[in-house]
A and B are shown apart, each in its own frame.
Chain A
Amino acid sequence: MNCSPDKPVKIVITSSPAYLPVVRGAVEKMCQLLGFDDEGAGGVVLSVDEALTNIIKHAYNGADDKPIDIDLAPLTESPAGGIRICLRDYGPSVDPEKIRSRDLDDIRPGGLGVHIMCECMDKLEYRRAEGGGTVLTMTKKAPERKGNVTR
């Protein structure tokens, strides 16, 4: 019996900050099952939280009743495994070229989410979704395990 998830987990929430802890809990557990250490799992959890925060604040202007689709899937391309996360909103599409992190030497509140995601994840890709909205796909490889046991 395979004890690691091998199929995507789908979560649908509305854009209320009340659901952020629920998603964080699910992402944390998925990362643990996919072989992430505490540091790696923490970075993935933080990245998902930042992405959701951006959707709530920018795509939906703080409205708390709009849909957000979340897919958590095992990353199959890497020998060590990992996680692929897709977040889809249905707000006005944003030009992916305009989404970037800001200068950290400018000490001011806000605008740190994209920088955090870039630091914690291996890859980020924004694209316009068919039918409107934006899809963010983030991937992170799990750390290589030393001394694989074979039986």
Chain B
Amino acid sequence: MKTSQDSPVRQVRWVGRDAIVEVHGDIDLRRSVDFQQTLLVLMDDKPARILIDLSDVPYMDSSGIASLVKILSRARRDGTVLRLFGLSVRVRSLFEITRLDNVFEICATEAEALA
């Protein structure tokens, strides 16, 4: 699935029933709602796992974190595994500051997330 050029979600790749979501650009107040909506629509397709690739996200703020918390909440309700991978130092630091690094499953690479 390809998305519009402005969407924070560049592409969704399917590996079996796993959806790998490629995100790009800053996720802030400007783009977090679009990010969240795209992910929530994807979840209607009932993937077994959603693996979110943040390697091309140089910046995220608490709006982006709030969107991910909503997505995680829905994933838990649906029994879907949610993993994040490819976090930059700054994005990783945001998860640590907000103490959400132990709430989300955070992997270093796509291969680790798929394992």
Contact = CB atoms under 8 A, between A and B. Distances in A.
- Binding between chains A and B: yes
B103 A112 contact: no
Nearest to B68: A109
A107 B103 contact: yes
Contact of B63 (A42, A53, A107): A53
B98 A17 contact: no
B2 interface: no
B24 to A, nearest CB: 14
Interface string A100-114: 000010011110110
A61 to B, nearest CB: 13
Interface stretch (A18-26, A84-92, A138-146): A18-26
Contacts of A119: 97
Nearest to A21: B26
A29 to B, nearest CB: 15
18 contacts: A17-B28, A17-B29, A20-B29, A21-B26, A45-B59, A49-B28, A53-B29, A53-B61, A53-B62, A56-B29, A57-B29, A104-B99, A107-B103, A109-B66, A109-B69, A112-B66, A115-B97, A116-B62
Interface of A: 17-18, 20-21, 24, 38-39, 42-43, 45-46, 49-50, 53, 56-57, 104, 107-110, 112-113, 115-116, 119-120
Interface of B: 26, 28-30, 59, 61-63, 65-67, 69-70, 89-90, 93-94, 97-100, 103
